[in-house]
Chains A and B, each alone.
Chain A
Amino acid sequence: AQSVTQPDIHITVSEGASLELRCNYSYGATPYLFWYVQSPGQGLQLLLKYFSGDTLVQGIKGFEAEFKRSQSSFNLRKPSVHWSDAAEYFCAVGAGSGGGADGLTFGKGTHLIIQP
C-alpha cells in the first residue's frame, strides 16, 4: 500500500521569502503525485500534479514541485510567498488499481503561516 509523509506539521515563513514544503512517498511503482491547498473550511484546490516525464512540474499560483525518485520525494517550492498563501498544504499519492479509478492517499498536511 502507498503512503505519504509530510514531516513538517507547521512552517512559518516571512512574506516575500522562499518556501519549500517536504513530501516523501512510499510506493512500489511510479506513483501519481499531487499537491493540494486547503483554506479553512474549504475544499481542496489542486496546485500541481506529476504523472511522468519532466521531473520539475509547474503549477498554479507560482508553485513548482520536483520529483526525485532516488529520494522518494516530491517537494513543493515557491520563490516568494504572499500572505494569501497561508493555508494547509497536502501532498497526495494515487496508485493505479486497475479498476478504472483510484482514491488518493494524503499526507497529514503542513500548516503554512506567513509572517508580515
Chain B
Amino acid sequence: DTEVTQTPKHLVMGMTNKKSLKCEQHMGHRAMYWYKQKAKKPPELMFVYSYEKLSINESVPSRFSPECPNSSLLNLHLHALQPEDSALYLCASSQGEGTAQYFGPGTRLTVL
C-alpha cells in the first residue's frame, strides 16, 4: 500500500483566515514532506520532517507552519496568507534519505 491521503481536496480562504491542511500515511515511513506547486511549475520543497526533526526551506515565509503530531500525520497551518500563495500543496512520505517519495493527491488552495 503506497497511499498518502490529504484533506481537504480544495480550500478557499481569505487573507485573514486561519486554516490547516492535513496529510496522513500508513506505510510506516519516518519522513514526511510538504511541497508547493504553482501552475505549470515543478514542485518546490517547503518542509521536511524526519525522525521528528524539522528541516525548513529558508525561503518559505512564516505564515506557513508545519506540525507533526506523530510519525504518520503531518499538518500545515496557514495564517494570513497572500493571493500568491494560491497553489497545489503536495504532501509526500518516504522511508528516509535516498529512498523514493510517495505523493498524495494534493490540496488545491485558493487565497482570495
Instruction: Give chain A's interface residues, CB within 8 Å of chain B.
Output: 32, 34, 36, 41-46, 49, 51, 90, 94, 96-109
| Contact, CB under 8 Å: B103 / A96 | no
Query: What is the interface size of chain B, counting residues whose CB is below 8 A from a CB of the partner?
Result: 35
CB distance from B39 to the nearest CB of A (A): 10
| Contact, CB under 8 Å: A96 / B105 | no
| Contact, CB under 8 Å: A41 / B97 | no
Contacts A42-B106, A43-B106; is A108 near B42 (CB within 8 Å)?
Answer: yes
| Contact, CB under 8 Å: A45 / B43 | no
| Contact, CB under 8 Å: A100 / B98 | no
Q: Which residues of chain B have C-beta atoms less than 8 A from A102's C-beta?
A: 48, 97-98
Partner of A43, one of B45, B57, B90: B90
Q: Considering only CB atoms, which chain A residue lies closest to B29 in the complex?
A: A101
* A44–B2 CA distance with the chains assembled, in angstroms: 12
Q: Residue B88 at the A interface, CB < 8 A?
A: yes
Instruction: Give chain B's interface residues, CB within 8 Å of chain A.
Output: 2, 4, 6, 30-31, 33, 35, 41-45, 48-51, 53, 55, 57, 88, 90, 92, 94, 96-106, 108
| Contact, CB under 8 Å: B55 / A101 | yes
Q: Which residues of chain A have C-beta atoms less than 8 A from B42's C-beta?
A: 90, 106-109
Contacts A43-B90, A108-B42, A109-B42; is A49 near B100 (CB within 8 Å)?
Answer: yes
* A108–B43 CA distance with the chains assembled, in angstroms: 9
Q: Which residues of chain A have C-beta atoms less than 8 A from B96's C-beta?
A: 100-101
| Contact, CB under 8 Å: B106 / A100 | no
Q: Which residues of chain B have C-beta atoms less than 8 A from A34's C-beta?
A: 100-101
* A10–B44 CA distance with the chains assembled, in angstroms: 21
